[in-house]
Amino acid sequence: MYGGLGNSENKSSVTYRVDRVIDASNLMCPGPILMLSTSISDLPQGSVVMVITRDPAFEEDLKSWSTYTGHEILDIVKGSDRVIAYIRKAR
């Protein structure tokens, strides 16, 4: 599965191999972060997760979560009504 290119809202120039897609678009805080945290826990190191959300607070929340957990934010792509983020599992 690949993400990072292919639609008009996407300003990213990089393509990632995505190991798991988390569609959290029907949940606000803390739904997307909790889904991401739970989902990433059983993936091997280096896996890339794509999170789709409509939560306007998600970008800042994700940065804070990433600082605490060490997981790497590869890209955050902002569209008109949603945010898509790519995260690489650190450990």
Place of tokens 């800042």: 60
Tokens (6 digits) for 66: 């990433």
Residue 21 interacting with another protein (CB under 8 A): no
Residue 57 interacting with another protein (CB under 8 A): no
Site membership for another protein, residue 30 (CB under 8 A)? yes
- DSSP code of residue 71: P
Quick one: tokens of 76?
């955050």
CA distance 67 to 9: 27
Residue from 1, 29, 43, 90 touching another protein (CB under 8 A): that is 29
**Of 5, 21, 29, 90, which residue is the catalytic one?**
29
Q: Which one-letter amino acid corresponds to residue 15? A: T
* Catalytic-residue membership of 80: no
* Of residues 26 and 80, the one with the C-beta less far from another protein: 26
The continuous run of DSSP H or E covering 62 comes out as helix 58-69
Q: What is the closest distance, in whole angstroms, from the C-beta atom of residue 28 to another protein in the complex?
A: 4
Q: What residue ranges bind another protein (CB under 8 A)? A: 26-31, 33-34, 36-38, 55, 64-65, 68-69
Query: Catalytic residue numbers?
Result: 29
